[in-house]
Amino acid sequence: MPDEPQRRYSEQDACILLGLARESIGHGLRHGRALAVEPGVYAPILRQPGACFVSLHRQRQLRGCIGTMEARLPLVVQVAESAYAAAFRDWRFPPLRAVELDDLSLDVHVLSPLSPLPFQGLGDLHARLRVGQDGLLLELGARQAVFLPVMWEQLPDPQRFVAALLRKGEMDAAADLGGLRASRFTVDAFTEGGRGA
């Protein structure tokens, strides 16, 4: 098993990010928009541009997940925006209702920069993946799909992991995967209650 990636964020940082995510969802219920965040009042690491995903769960079931692969906004702003979008703009789910808020749990996944992952055929790609550690972005023409590292919990075999990601991006039926591009990343993951990965 590969070494765990070194964490960049403190427990206090994690609490701040999770708190902002929840506050932004509550603000969205009351005002119909994400919480406006002033980055200047936060620690430098939280003010830097950051890519992240925010996942919502109810009764252990996914209730929304939205994020970005590109670090464009200050991390604290991106977390607030992604949390609001996960609650109210994930097309797979109806907008969150106030009655759901009490038993909602949140995860914040802060992404490292993408790193191109060259490979020769799918077998080589499977061999190069670090199980349990790598997130993976696959791109083929205009299609793309991403799995966060947490998906290894459901798909611990690299072959199944890649196959499921190809299906997600509707790339599995492509006659020629010769143009397939892969990039990997790691995450700092924070969950309400203190469980992190």
Give the model's pLDDT for residue 174: 65
Q: What pTM, to 2 d.p., does this model score?
A: 0.88
Helix axes 11-31, 75-88, angle to 10 degrees: 50
Q: What confidence score (pLDDT) does residue 7 get?
A: 57
Task: Give the E-state strand segments of the chain in sequence order.
Answer: 51-58, 61-67, 104-111, 115-116, 135-140, 143-147, 181-185, 187-191
3-state secondary structure of 154: coil
Tens digit of pLDDT at every position of the chain (197 positions): 344 445 589 999 999 999 999 999 999 999 999 999 999 999 999 999 999 999 999 988 999 999 999 999 999 999 999 999 999 999 999 999 999 998 999 999 999 999 999 999 999 999 999 999 999 999 999 999 999 999 999 999 999 999 999 999 999 866 678 889 999 999 999 998 644 43
Domains along the chain with CATH numbers: 11-111 (3.30.700.20), 115-185 (3.30.1490.150)
What letter represents residue 8's amino acid?
A: R
Pairing relationship of beta strands 51-58 and 61-67 according to DSSP bridges: antiparallel
Q: How far apart are CA 87 and CA 97, in angstroms?
A: 9
C-alpha to C-alpha distances, 95 to 89, 116, 127, nearest whole angstrom: 7, 35, 40
pLDDT at residue 4, as a whole number = 43
Q: What is the pLDDT of residue 94?
A: 96
Q: What is the reported pLDDT for 175? A: 63
Question: Quick one: DSSP state of residue 112?
Answer: P
HEC-encoded secondary structure of 79-90: HHHHHHHHHHCC
